Chain A
């Protein structure tokens, strides 16, 4: 079973609207959780990173939250734009003293329509 589960698998929103993506993980211990944005035909690019002691991080219209107790994270997109159409991947990193293999979610595909 994958250690990082994302929901929904895909969603469609109208331009200007907000949306929230969910990430549940079982990786333990972990050192940080990162959200990546992957445009079609491109590699993933880091949007936000949070350590286990942080509970929120913003990058422009993107705001990520983290609840380390419940092992849940969310990514909120405010006032969506057409350029937000992409796949958003939740990635959990173990501590550096481990094998430091990243655990990836399957991603949420967001489509923003005019």
Chain B
């Protein structure tokens, strides 16, 4: 295990639902990320939080809303999603200013939008 957990692991929702994805890290890291992974495509960076402050919103539609209440937890709130939002959503964490800039990934949430 990488020290990064995500819940739920699988989620099926309708386009009118509201749901939230949760990420928790036990590594003492101070940067957290949300990525979207679609089949056959590179990971797409969605949001970046450094020291609980959002420093990056990579042109993500407003139907995705992140929240970082503390350095150990990261949420992704979902509402009015589209079928094309179906993907694997990965959380990653990093220790800022570490030598190798390594990001540690959680297992992901497989999201299906009907």
Contacts and interface: CB of A to CB of B under 8 A. Distances in A.
Nearest to A105: B42
State which size class the interface on A falls in.
Answer: 20 to 34
Interface residues of B, number: 22
A43 B101 contact: no
Interface string B77-104: 0000000000000101000010011110
A4 B41 CA distance: 11
Contacts of B42: 2, 4, 103-107
A32 B103 CA distance: 13
A89 B45 CA distance: 15
In terms of DSSP, what is the predominant structure of the interface of chain A? loop
Interface string B42-61: 11010000000000100000
Interface of B: 2, 4, 6, 9, 40-43, 45, 56, 90, 92, 97, 100-103, 105-108, 110
Interface of A: 2, 4, 9, 31-32, 34, 36, 41-46, 49, 89, 93, 96, 100-107
